[in-house]
Amino acid sequence: MKEPSDDRRLLVAMQRFEIIAPLLNRPLPRGVQKTILEELAGKMHLNAENRLITLGKRTIERYLSNYLKFGLDGLKPKVRPEQGVLKAFPPGALDEAVNIRLARPELSADSIIEELRSAKVPGAQQMSVSTLNRHLRRLGKDRPALKRTVRKRYRLLSVEGAHVLWICDVWDGPYLTDELTGRKRRLRLVAIIDSYSRYIVHAEFYFNENRPCIEDTLMKAILKHNLPEVFYCDNAKVFRSRHMKRIAAELGFSVKHSRPGIPQGRGRIERWFRTVAEKCEPLLKEQINSGKVTTLYEVNNFFAAWLERRYHSRRHSTLKMSPREFLENAGGSHLDMSRHVDPATVHEAFLWRENRGVSPLGAVRLQGNLYEVDESLLGKTVELRFNPYDLRRILVYCEGTYRCEARPYQMKNFTEKRVQERQTDSRNALDKAMQAIVQEHREEIKERSGLSFAKAMGVKHGE
């Protein structure tokens, strides 16, 4: 069996983190953790192959212990190259057994072996019942898996304080002329609301509703209000990216998704979108039509002013006070459940990551650009971490360890194509964030490898 790749092991680790996330939100009273463990052990979970599995209580406790000791690396499966290898009989015999199981699921493994032997399938004589059952379970073709029906159980997410539950969604706004193309395009409002206080932790207009827009909004919300416990969002592809799962696992918050067509739990942000449509959109259209607001930057400035003066400061009918006052009261009553995180750590978690093979010339390609890397990496697969708003600085990692900064050789694109509209607003801020990441890791890398990280990154003394 081929040795699992690092990407594969990371995907398994992220899936395991999603299972134990309810146990990591905050210190739990006596007896509550045991109750949650029993509940997690009593329901089904999706594994890395998107198959439904059940986990024992001891297994979940082991995941929790390994995560608390070693972080995300503790959840990665151990590498056992020999596991799952077909040794007792040829792969073709297993394929025939799977076909029989799918056609006649009522047959036992013993009966399937007899069928194969009667048909004189090569390798059937060497088959044993236990070995065949093990491989059928591995492939998800055992009889319990084929007969299993999952019943959805809905529960109301309890909100016990501020920043326990953030809800994110996208709203279709008015049209605006795009400066780059000269054509009118529909604006998309990406917003995140705190379910407890109804405070908008961040909201911003974009021309798209793709992955960079969602991540940009979430990063700004975390930088302003620290980490939530649960990030609740739609089931769309942009919310289910591997990068989003990795961000949540590294920073330590849980991501939950509503079922397609059944937006359970997103009613509060949908109600807020109705407020935007009724009270903000007419004013914004008036500003656009009169020519007072002509760019995306100006749209967001106008919206930020409306948000602070007309929403956060106005009395909320359910709260009986303004969202800002309610959020401040939560902090004074020890109901602010947010967790502090260093800004440099946040920026590093949101860096995009892609794997590339190093050519015999000691170069890698990214977004149409060519970069030179250290000669010791020739022929290896490296991980490139970069700020999509500035492709001039690429950090190179190999097997999870920083090795060097890629040197630009041929530059055709200075930003990732999906973030060009945000280039002017975001380049300077995120360039400073890269500097902060360099500063944070400088001493760590120096102690571990003896390499001057500051010198490698071009940071001058005293910066």
CA distance 96 to 124: 10
Query: What's the pLDDT score for residue 150?
Result: 47
Q: 185-223: per-residue pLDDT in tens?
A: 999 999 999 999 999 999 999 998 888 889 999 999 999
Query: What's the pLDDT score for residue 1?
Result: 42
Please state the three-class secondary structure of 376-410 as a single string: HHCCCEEEEEEECCEEEEEEEEECCEEEEEEEEEE
- Which residues contact residue 302 at a Cβ distance below 8 angstroms, ignoring those fewer than 6 apart? 283, 284, 287, 293
CA distance 161 to 351: 30
- Contact of 227 with 251, CB cutoff 8 Å: yes
- Contact of 278 with 271, CB cutoff 8 Å: no
What phi and psi values does residue 83 have, to the nearest 5 degrees?
Answer: -70, 135
Q: Strands of 352-357's sheet, edge to edge?
A: 352-357, 381-387, 390-398, 401-410, 369-372, 363-366
**What's the DSSP call for residue 235?**
-
What does the pLDDT profile of the chain (463 residues) look like in tens digits?
445 567 788 888 888 998 898 888 767 777 788 888 888 888 888 887 788 888 999 999 999 999 988 888 888 887 655 555 666 677 788 888 888 888 888 888 888 888 888 888 888 888 888 888 888 888 888 877 776 654 555 454 567 899 999 999 999 999 999 888 889 999 999 999 999 999 999 999 999 888 888 999 999 999 999 999 999 988 888 888 888 999 999 999 999 888 776 665 688 899 999 999 999 999 999 999 999 999 999 999 999 999 999 999 999 988 899 999 999 999 888 899 999 999 988 988 999 999 999 999 899 999 889 999 998 899 899 999 988 878 888 999 988 888 888 999 888 888 877 666 554 444 555 555 556 565 555 556 555 554 443 444 444 444 4
Mapped onto helix, strand or coil, the DSSP state of residue 233 is strand
CA distance 126 to 411: 59
- Which residues contact residue 351 at a Cβ distance below 8 angstroms, ignoring those fewer than 6 apart? 385, 386, 387, 395, 437
Q: How many residues does the chain have?
A: 463
- Contact of 141 with 132, CB cutoff 8 Å: no
Domain 165-332 has CATH 3.40.50.720: no
Q: Name the residue among 389, 445, 400 with its Cα closest to residue 71.
A: 400
- DSSP string for residues in 89-151: S-HHHHHHHHHHHHH-TTS-HHHHHHHHHHTT-TTGGG--HHHHHHHHHHTT-SHHHHH--PP
What phi and psi values does residue 365 have, to the nearest 5 degrees?
Answer: -115, 140
For the record, the structure tokens of 211 come out as 């992955």
This model's pTM is above 0.85: no
Query: What's the pLDDT score for residue 27?
Result: 73
Torsion of CA 332, 338, 342, 344, to 10 degrees: -130
Query: What's the pLDDT score for residue 452?
Result: 40
For the record, the structure tokens of 125 come out as 């004589």
Query: What's the pLDDT score for residue 321?
Result: 93
Segments making up each domain of the chain, as ranges: 6-75, 91-147, 165-332, 343-457
- DSSP string for residues in 315-333: PPTTTSS-HHHHHHHHHHT
Helix axes 6-20, 57-70, angle to 10 degrees: 110
Mean pLDDT of the residues in the chain? 83
CA distance 103 to 241: 35
Find tokens 């990692």 and name the residue. 397
Other beta carbons within 10 angstroms of residue 227's beta carbon come to: 19
Query: What's the pLDDT score for residue 438?
Result: 56
